[in-house]
Amino acid sequence: MNFKLLTLVAALAITGCSTTAVTNSDEQVRNQKLATSFVSERVKIETNCRWYKPFKDDCEIVSIEAVGTAPSNGNTVMNRKTALIHAGNNARANVAHFIREEINSSRVTSTIAKNVEKAKDKLNTNHGGHDPVEMTDKEANQTNVSVRENSNDTAMRLTSSVRANSSAILRGFYTVKEEVVGGQEVAVTIRWDKTSERTANMLQNKFGNTR
């Protein structure tokens, strides 16, 4: 009986030691991978088409749903609330960009060239006659020197920018879903339908807002 009790205590002691093992502090950073279980931002449009006349169709938009996501950068209540507001704005921006989008693209290439050339020539000749020139080895080392240096520095810089601008007045959109879709990521779904549009127009006329 005592032997079994000692064996159990030893097993617990070994298990406790294994939980306090020291790991490499860079292990989590080196093993990070891009998450694939994310909710993509999208715009879903539902239409209802009816054929009133032959060879002619009339379709009307029934509803529009848009999803926006945003990182929370933490797990506090404040971070979650801020991320939900950000995701809702992204969902509305997705609708605006779907309706109308202006793209501006520019590419600028700058070339900076620098050329430095140095020359040093030294020649010792006898211009007095045609007699052979005689000099010692020391004099030969001090004359007839020609030094050429050429240095070229070329730097090229490419600046590319793409801007997507959109402006739209969204009326009748309301939030239908707020959810946490990842460890630190939230998603917000907004919706527009014909009922919400009629309600928004009625409220606009009632309160005298003409915009």
pLDDT in tens, 21-36: 444 455 555 555 555 5
One domain for residues 140 and 109: yes
pLDDT exceeds 50 at position 8 = no
Cβ–Cβ < 8 Å for 178, 186: yes
One domain for residues 75 and 85: yes
Mean per-residue pLDDT for 15-21?
42
Residue whose pair of structure tokens reads 């080392």 in the numeric block: 141
pLDDT at 48: 81
Residue 118 lies in a domain: yes
**How much is the mean pLDDT over the chain?**
76
One domain for residues 113 and 69: no
Residue 15 lies in a domain: no
Report which of 173, 187, 182 is spatially closest to residue 41, judged by C-alpha positions: 187
pLDDT at 2: 41
Full domain range(s) for residue 112:
103-125+136-164
- The DSSP secondary-structure symbol of 54 reads T
Residue 28 lies in a domain: no
pLDDT at 155: 87
Residue 21 lies in a domain: no
pTM over 0.85: no
Residue 150 lies in a domain: yes
Exposed, middle or buried by CB within 10 Å (0-12, 13-18, 19+), for 137? exposed
Ranges 50-64, 69-83, 114-128: which has the least confidence: 114-128
Residue whose pair of structure tokens reads 């292990």 in the numeric block: 27
One domain for residues 180 and 76: yes
One domain for residues 195 and 152: no
pLDDT at 113: 84
pLDDT in tens, 123-172: 555 555 556 656 666 665 665 556 677 778 888 888 999 999 999 999 99
One domain for residues 93 and 65: yes
pLDDT at 112: 86
pLDDT at 10: 34
One domain for residues 57 and 84: yes
Spatial strand order of the sheet with 42-53 comes to: 42-53, 56-71, 185-193, 174-182
88 pLDDT band, cuts 50/70/90, is very high
Cβ–Cβ < 8 Å for 181, 38: yes
E strand or H helix at 27, and its extent?
A: helix 27-30
One domain for residues 82 and 171: yes
Residue 120 lies in a domain: yes
Residue 12 lies in a domain: no
One domain for residues 148 and 178: no
**Total count of domains within the chain:** 2
Torsion, Cα of 69, 73, 79, 81 (10° steps): 0
Distance CA 93, CA 174 (A): 14
CA angle 135, 141, 144 (to 5 degrees): 85
Mean per-residue pLDDT for 11-16?
38
Calculate Rg over the CA atoms of the chain.
39
Report which of 5, 79, 70, 15 is spatially closest to residue 39, judged by C-alpha positions: 70
Residue 30 lies in a domain: no
pLDDT at 150: 76
pLDDT at 16: 43
One domain for residues 192 and 111: no
